[in-house]
Structure 1
Amino acid sequence: MQNKSEENTRLASLVWQIADEMRSSTALQASGAMIPLAAYVALLMQDGGDGDALGDIQARANEEAEVRDFLLRSFDEKWMEAARRLSREATKEALREFVLYYDFLAGAGKVAGEHATPDCICRLALAILGIKQGENVADLGCGYGNFLVAAAGAHPNDTYYGVEISDAAACLAQIRMNLMGVDSAIEIGDMLSRKPKRQFDKVFSQYPFGMRLQHVGGSGGYYDEFKKGNTGFGRSSSADWVFNKLLCDSLSPDGEAVAIMTNGATFNGGDELARKYFLDNGMIRAVVALPGGLLRGTLVPITLVVFGRNDGPVRIVDASDLFVPGRRWNTIGDDEIEEIVRRLSESGESSRLVTREELAATEYCLFPSRYFGREINMVNPTRIGELAESIERGVALVASELDMISTDEDTGISYLRLSDIEDGRIAGGLPHIRALDTKLEKLRLKNGDLIVSKSGAPFKVAVAEVPEGQTILASGNIYIIRLNTERVNPYYVAAFLASEDGKEIMGRMVVGTAIPSLPIKNLRAMEIPVPSMEEQEAIADAYRARLDEVEVLKIKLEKARNNAVSTYDEVMGR
């Protein structure tokens, strides 16, 4: 008699054979659900003859109408034969476990990953939600039902609900919940097209990642609210906050929800009103920054938000350091989950309560990195916006546009790219352009202008030194800060921003993780110390002297490189 491990190995081998044979099947290409659905049909066959038609097999099963209809539409004779092979060669227990715990994400690309929440996310959400006996639990956008199956396994006496727009995923979710033997209902439909008919004690959602409602043609419910700007927060840039409103509307008065959302929605300007709306209405309890590589199809970091009634400060947690690296994707282990739950309850280096006043002062930014870092004591802290006469972005030209106006002739007009800023100075050999558009006159660099890169890390800083008779235009990913030199010395500011304290402060104002970016609003709001002018000038003079030392060393280094290259020829007398 085979043991369980041997049987599972044999079943896995058979499944891979079937998947390989069915690779050209339209149904397999359209959905990652067909293999586990075939295993489910095989399970039904074991209660009757495997030569029966699918309709006869289903007649013996107590299935929902939607499940029966989907299977009848999707299963052709090739899939029926695959189910018969599985029925003949696998036991009931093995087939049941296969359907319940099938790894939808094994080798999955972005499409399969859309309907399958990673196991580590399910376990983390369950640990945070703390589901109790007798509660009503929902997964909005439940996909194949991964979260619901995990929840039902831990809490079999609760009531479960899911809604999913993909009929294949919803069908499989219902089948899996039926096999769990719990009280459940899975609805096929677009969750945003209607208002919730009931409320739940606990809600989870990993809704579509990075969706823009402007590009979705849905109607009814939240779609109509969004189109008319009746959401309570206008028309947000991302769909995340519309989904989040659905989650909160689906909660009982003392309920709690967990959502997985994009980092961008926590800080971008287009979602500021939405964040303000949720905070002003006491709907956010905690925000957790999670590492990248957890979701299939994207390596970007993500954010977990805990919703529920909260009129006090918001718990902000940075858990981006907690993950187990994998060859292609990362995961979160039990130890990491335990640490995240601990950080949600205790303040420390990566966890703190942020007051509503603090949140309002940062344009309601919920991006955790904004609120962490070592304490920096500053003399006379002053916002850069108060010290600047103007802050402008340079001229945005794509490579093809620059090629069209570039010339080898020295026209006296040059274009400064980010790559031309080296070691705190503008490098020589800038590309020349043919002529200066009069509309761009105000963007000409002047001596003493502070130059700060808009994106990328580490950020670059320099002070413009424009040769006499020359004109320099900065590129669009460079900020040009014209400071009030009666209050601050530009070289002093550059020295501070290049320091460890300056880098720390800039890091707190940055948004984005894949490509860190410094929004102009954050740049204006960034505080720097402003000591006496005498102290500023002393620091500025020392900074310039050390930049000169760097230039001298670069010349010596280049000479040494040339000498090294010519060593062979010199020794050989050539």
Structure 2
Amino acid sequence: MSDQINQDTINKALWNACDTFRGTISADTYKDFILTMLFLKYISDVWRDHYDNYQAEYGDEPELIEEMMKSERFVLPKQASFYTLWERRHEPGNGERIDQALHAIEEANGTKLKDAGKSVFQDITFNTDKLGDSKQKNDILRHLLEDFAKPELSLKPSRVGTLDVIGNAYEYLIKNFAASGGQKAGEFYTPPEVSDLIAELLDPQPGESICDPACGSGSLLMKCGRKVVANHGSKQYALYGQEAIGSTWSLAKMNMFLHGEDNHKIEWGDTIRNPKLLDKNGDLMLFDIVTANPPFSLDKWGHDSAESDKFSRFRRGIPPKTKGDYAFILHMIETLKPGTGRMGVVVPHGVLFRGSSEGKIRQQLIEENLLDAVIGLPEKLFYGTGIPAAILIFNKAKTEDTVLFIDASREFKSGKNQNQLSEDNISKIVETYRANTSVDKYAYVASLDEIKENDYNLNIPRYVDTFEEEEEIDLMAVRAEREQLKAQMVELETEMAKYLEELGYGA
């Protein structure tokens, strides 16, 4: 369709909309305003598109159409529509009206935008003094409404297609805010192609439960769910997640709502200090698939209370005080189902070889034969950090006494600031993992004895030899070429002297 919109157009329009706030409040604050307005605009466009379709089919029958709209997956009260707010943008009270609209949407949609009493929009208020006095605040929000009313931000389903508008826009904004905000290396979000890769590797099946204990905007979780739909034509799966940052939890809930992922449970809270995904007995819930891209080497992860952890997650050892990588790994291992549980986690390379308590934990996990594969990724894949990462695959149903090492660090599609994994790069990793065989200079199947001989060090170059021998230099050929060049130089000098003599510059 010629009217089809692409993500770049949406991203550019959103970045321009940020100009409304620049110089007034910090990027970290206005990010939430922009994304919440994007959510409101998107559901308003979906609602309006469906209304127009019914009108085209049934004619001008408002009562009939209103009745038909009651069967929609979500409810949008008329006074809560973006367009109602836009029409009244010149009146005082824009902030209050936007807050009321968000509250009305929550109330009209039951539990879809709430969890355990916490509402998605409770941490977001447009009627805030951070935007200045009443007049300045009203002007800023009028400009914001006008920005989102522009044609390039018409988000009708017919224009958007299958785009993950909120998730992709969130990642785009995070990337740009991180570039200018100097965020810590761990505070970034999983690029879509890395989510694709993990979902392919874990191969979720119909009827399985999928959990991300550090779920961010929920994109990795939803990718896993979509694999079940794509590969099996089934929506029989359940998504579970937990997110520590309130505004990001809100975004995950919005994202699930927009994608029709009604069979989900996303909790707000610190997974390590206060895991919320518990069964009726108060024990940790168990899942078929657990996956995450947790914060890298998180400082202050909860070391002080780890020894007395009531779930015994740290019985293999307590991770270092200033590096929480193994805290997330151990939590995830503990939530795997015994027969079917498999897990994919993104980690910094230090997890593969650091010693002390981490070395002891790593040794135990290897000796228990839980580790299935170590996959090295290219550098500059992740927003906010240039360091290369690795994916660890664990499997509770594993039978072979081996670990597959894949060095995919040199195969990527390079971009200006970020590298990307191409479809071919992803396919090669997945096919190699499924074949579970050694590939020269790319993959190696190591026995547990070999890993033990390496003192349980999982550093990939110890197993995958990517060294390329330099071609041997033929000194005799080089000498012959040099003699030939010398002879050519003599000929050229002689010819040059002849030309100079003809021109009257002879000796």
Deviation at 1:31, TM superposition (A): 6.9
1:74 to 110, 124, 130: 124
Q: For the residues of structure 2 that align with 1:87 and 1:131, how far apart are their CA atoms? A: 37
Q: For the residues of structure 1 that align with 2:183 and 2:107, how far apart are their CA atoms? A: 32
Q: For the residues of structure 2 that align with 1:265 and 1:204, how far apart are their CA atoms? A: 16
Q: Pick closer, same or farther for the CA change 1:162–1:31 going to 2, 3 Å.
A: farther
Deviation at 1:280, TM superposition (A): 1.4
Maintained 8 Å contact 1:247/1:257: yes
| Residue in structure 2 matched with residue 61 of structure 1 by the alignment | 109
TM-score (norm 2): 0.65
Structure whose residues are more often strand by fraction = 1
Q: Deviations over 1:222-250 (max 9, x none)?
A: 47449x99532244473222211111111
Q: 1 or 2 for the larger relative contact order (CA 8 Å, sep ≥6)?
A: 2
Deviation at 1:134, TM superposition (A): 1.8
Q: Pick closer, same or farther for the CA change 1:40–1:235 going to 2, 3 Å.
A: closer
Maintained 8 Å contact 1:315/1:354: yes
| Residue in structure 2 matched with residue 338 of structure 1 by the alignment | 427
Q: For the residues of structure 1 that align with 2:200 and 2:443, how far apart are their CA atoms? A: 17
Deviation at 1:340, TM superposition (A): 0.9
1:347 to 438, 443, 448: 438
Q: For the residues of structure 1 that align with 2:20 and 2:188, how far apart are their CA atoms? A: 24
| Residue in structure 2 matched with residue 240 of structure 1 by the alignment | 325
Deviation at 1:57, TM superposition (A): 4.2
* Paired positions, count: 372
2:345 to 249, 254, 259: 259
Q: For the residues of structure 1 that align with 2:141 and 2:452, how far apart are their CA atoms? A: 60
Maintained 8 Å contact 1:115/1:144: no
The letter of the residue matching 2:407 is D
Structure 2: stretches of 5+ with no match in the other structure: 48-75, 86-96, 128-136, 230-234, 279-284, 471-507
Maintained 8 Å contact 2:287/2:341: yes
Structure index of larger Rg: 1
TM-score (norm 1): 0.58
Maintained 8 Å contact 1:70/1:171: yes
TM alignment of 1:75-474, pairs within 5 A: 75-77=125-127, 81=142, 84-85=145-146, 88-89=149-150, 90-93=154-157, 98-105=165-172, 106-109=175-178, 111=183, 114-156=187-229, 157=235, 158-182=237-261, 183-194=263-274, 197=278, 198-212=285-299, 215-217=300-302, 222=306, 224-225=308-309, 230-236=314-320, 238-253=323-338, 254-270=340-356, 271-309=358-396, 310=398, 312-344=401-433, 345=435, 346-349=437-440, 350-373=442-465
Q: Secondary structure at the match of 1:73?
A: coil
Q: For the residues of structure 1 that align with 2:404 and 2:257, how far apart are their CA atoms? A: 37
Percent of paired sites with the same residue: 20
| Residue in structure 2 matched with residue 419 of structure 1 by the alignment | none
Q: For the residues of structure 1 that align with 2:226 and 2:314, how far apart are their CA atoms? A: 40
Q: For the residues of structure 2 that align with 1:126 and 1:21, how far apart are their CA atoms? A: 38
Deviation at 1:81, TM superposition (A): 4.4
Maintained 8 Å contact 1:261/1:302: yes
Q: Secondary structure at the match of 2:341?
A: strand
Question: Is 2:53 aligned against 1:4?
Answer: no
Structure 1: stretches of 5+ with no match in the other structure: 376-498, 501-574
The letter of the residue matching 2:246 is D
Q: Pick closer, same or farther for the CA change 1:36–1:68 going to 2, 3 Å.
A: farther
Maintained 8 Å contact 1:31/1:168: no
Q: For the residues of structure 1 that align with 2:375 and 2:11, how far apart are their CA atoms? A: 37
Q: Secondary structure at the match of 1:117?
A: coil
Q: Pick closer, same or farther for the CA change 1:290–1:14 going to 2, 3 Å.
A: closer
Q: For the residues of structure 2 that align with 1:296 and 1:9, how far apart are their CA atoms? A: 17
Q: For the residues of structure 1 that align with 2:144 and 2:106, how far apart are their CA atoms? A: 13
